[in-house]
């Protein structure tokens, strides 16, 4: 593989980061598997980080451009003023509910919610920071994910952040987080993708204390 550098995110990386976020949104595959509105899904996955706290974001760049990212937030309880309202407004004005795939997805999420599947302990006191990481297909398994995590953890330590936690639906990545010193804090069943995967999956919350 050609040389790859890890560097801080800059505004010129926005489209590439959003593209990778979409291309990996469904367990490492494109979000079109479960949702029919690329722009809204990209907003949902990335805006929270890159539009509000770009200084906590890093990218992996090769000759062909951005091939991976870690986007973070030092304290998720800090204000993301207007984000929820903006996403809801966009969802309504783009009539997303009237597209069959979206209606099914939203209905299934609602069912999961009513079954209590989204309930999880609040880890934000001991592990205030969070993260979202993805590597484009074709560039995985070359150590880039580990380098991005180490870069982000070093950054958080310099910023004197106590700890970091995040959620993932990927059971394949367990070894990866284990090796990087994360511990599994919580595991909860999710059934809202059953219509596509024909099985329940799990949401894993990992955490790591930094001081």
Q: Contact positions toward ligand COA, by CB under 6 A?
A: 24, 28, 133-135, 140-146, 168, 170, 172-173, 175-176
Kindly report the number of other CB atoms within 10 A of residue 130's CB atom: 21
- For residue 59, the minimal CB distance to ligand COA (Å) is 13
Strands laid side by side in the 5-8 sheet: 5-8, 57-62, 65-73, 130-135
Of 38 and 170, the one with the shorter C-beta distance to ligand COA is 170
Of 4 and 91, the one with the shorter C-beta distance to ligand COA is 4
- For residue 190, the minimal CB distance to ligand COA (Å) is 14
Kindly report the number of other CB atoms within 10 A of residue 23's CB atom: 17
- For residue 134, the minimal CB distance to ligand COA (Å) is 4
- For residue 76, the minimal CB distance to ligand COA (Å) is 15
Strands laid side by side in the 163-168 sheet: 163-168, 201-209, 183-190
Of 146 and 183, the one with the shorter C-beta distance to ligand COA is 146
- For residue 176, the minimal CB distance to ligand COA (Å) is 3
- For residue 40, the minimal CB distance to ligand COA (Å) is 19
Question: Pick from 164, 141, 140, 143: which is nearest to 152 by CA?
Answer: 164
Of 45 and 161, the one with the shorter C-beta distance to ligand COA is 45
Structure tokens at 101: 């795939």
CA distance 211 to 190: 32
Of 48 and 96, the one with the shorter C-beta distance to ligand COA is 48
Q: Residue 177 contacts by C-beta under 8 Å, 6 or more apart in sequence?
A: 168, 206
Pairing between β-strand 201-209 and β-strand 163-168 as defined by DSSP bridges: antiparallel
The residue at minimum Cβ distance from ligand COA is 145
Identify the DSSP state of 122.
-
Helix (H) or strand (E) holding 105: helix 100-114
Of 56 and 134, the one with the shorter C-beta distance to ligand COA is 134
Q: Are 50 and 15 in contact (CB under 8 A)?
A: no
């Amino acid at each position: 593989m050609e040389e790859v550098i890890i560097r801080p995110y800059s505004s010129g990386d926005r489209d590439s980061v959003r593209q990778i976020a979409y291309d990996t949104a469904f367990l490492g595959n494109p979000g079109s598997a479960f949702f029919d509105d690329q722009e809204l899904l990209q907003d949902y996955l990335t805006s929270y980080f890159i539009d509000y706290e770009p200084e906590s974001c890093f990218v992996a760049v090769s000759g062909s451009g951005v091939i991976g990212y870690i986007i973070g937030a030092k304290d998720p309880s800090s204000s993301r003023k207007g984000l929820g309202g903006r996403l809801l407004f966009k969802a309504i004005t783009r009539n997303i509910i009237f597209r069959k795939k979206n209606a099914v997805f939203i209905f299934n999420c609602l069912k999961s919610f009513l079954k209590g599947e989204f309930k999880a302990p609040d880890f934000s006191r001991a592990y205030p920071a969070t993260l979202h990481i993805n590597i484009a297909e074709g560039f995985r398994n070359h150590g880039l994910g580990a380098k991005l995590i180490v870069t982000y953890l070093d950054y958080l330590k310099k910023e004197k952040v106590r700890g970091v936690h995040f959620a993932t639906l990927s059971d394949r990545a367990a070894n990866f987080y284990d090796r990087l010193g994360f511990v599994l804090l919580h595991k909860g069943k999710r059934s809202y993708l059953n219509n596509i995967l024909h099985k329940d999956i799990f949401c894993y919350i990992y955490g790591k204390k930094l001081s």
